[in-house]
Amino acid sequence: MSISLANADHASRPSAIFLRNIHGSKWGYAIYRTNYDPALEAAWTHTLHTIRSHIVACIEEELHKPLSWMRIPAVDYQRIRDDPSLCPAVDPAPVDAVKTALELIVHDDAARYDRLSVEDVREAFHSLCTDGDPATPSVAEIFANPPLFVRIRAGLLVSADVCLMVDGEVLRAVSQDLRNEYGEGPFVKAVERLPCLGPDYEGWFKVALTYLWQLVMRAKNSDGMDLILPPKRHTTGERPIYNGSWPMDMQLESAGIYPEDIAEIEEAYARVV
C-alpha cells in the first residue's frame, strides 16, 4: 500500500517555517574578509565557496531526511523506516525558494578591511545595517548609553544580528578542513552586532559551517547569543565551536563534572555493578 503525504503537515517543514519568518525577499550574511596574505588567496576563494555550499546542503537536508519533519501516522513512519523506498517524493519548491533567497554580501577590500579587529568589523557591520547614517550612534556609543534606539535600514538583505568574519585562522581551518581535538570544525567566526558583553563573552564565537542556516533564526529570535552559547572549556579555555547544541563534555562541566573526574566516576560505577 502506498503512503500519501497529503496529511504530512507541510507547514512543519524547516524551509516552510523559515520562509514564514524571514520577513523579506532575501536573507543571508554580510561577510568581512580581514586577512589578505597572498599565500591564502586560494584559501579565500575556497572558503567563500564552502560557506555557500554548506548552507545550501543544510537547506536541502529536509529533502533527503523527510522523516525528520514529517508528521504522519506512526504506522506509516515505521513502514518508511523499514523500507525507505516507500517514502513519497517531497516537493522541492520551498527548499528552492529558500536557496534562491540566499544572499551573501562580501566585503573584500584590503584597503578597508585588512587586519580589522572584531570591534572594527562590528562597527562596519553596524554601519551597513543602519545605512551609514552619520547621525546614527556607533556600537561603542550604544554600549556607553544602552537606551539609545537605532533603526535598521529598510530593505536590508542580510541578518542584522550577526555577520561573518573570515581571518587567517578561518581561512586555514576551512581550506584544510581542520577539526579541533573534540572533532569540531571547520568554522567561521560570527560577530554579534549588539552583543551583551561579559567576562566569558567578547561578542563573537566560532560557528560550525553546518549551522549557518539555522544560526540566522537562532540569532534573530534570541535575546543575545551569550544566553545560548556553551561556556569556555575548563580544559582549553576556548568555547566549543557552536553547532546549535552543547557537546557532552560541556554538559558534564556545567554539572561540575570535569574530564579528570570521569575515570574516578567510572571506577566507582564499576565497583557498584
pLDDT in tens, 6-32: 555 677 899 999 999 988 889 999 999
C-alpha cell at position 180: 579541533
pTM listed for this prediction? 0.89
Query: For the chain, which ranges sit under pLDDT 50?
Result: none
Q: Is 165 helix (H, G, I), strand (E, B) or coil?
A: strand
Q: What pLDDT sits at residue 11? A: 77
pLDDT in tens, 133-163: 788 899 999 998 877 778 888 889 999 999 9
Average pLDDT across the chain, whole number: 90
Helix residue spans in the chain (DSSP H): 14-21, 41-64, 74-82, 93-101, 110-113, 118-129, 139-144, 168-175, 212-221, 248-254, 259-272
Q: What pLDDT sits at residue 258? A: 75
Ranges of each domain in the chain: 10-244
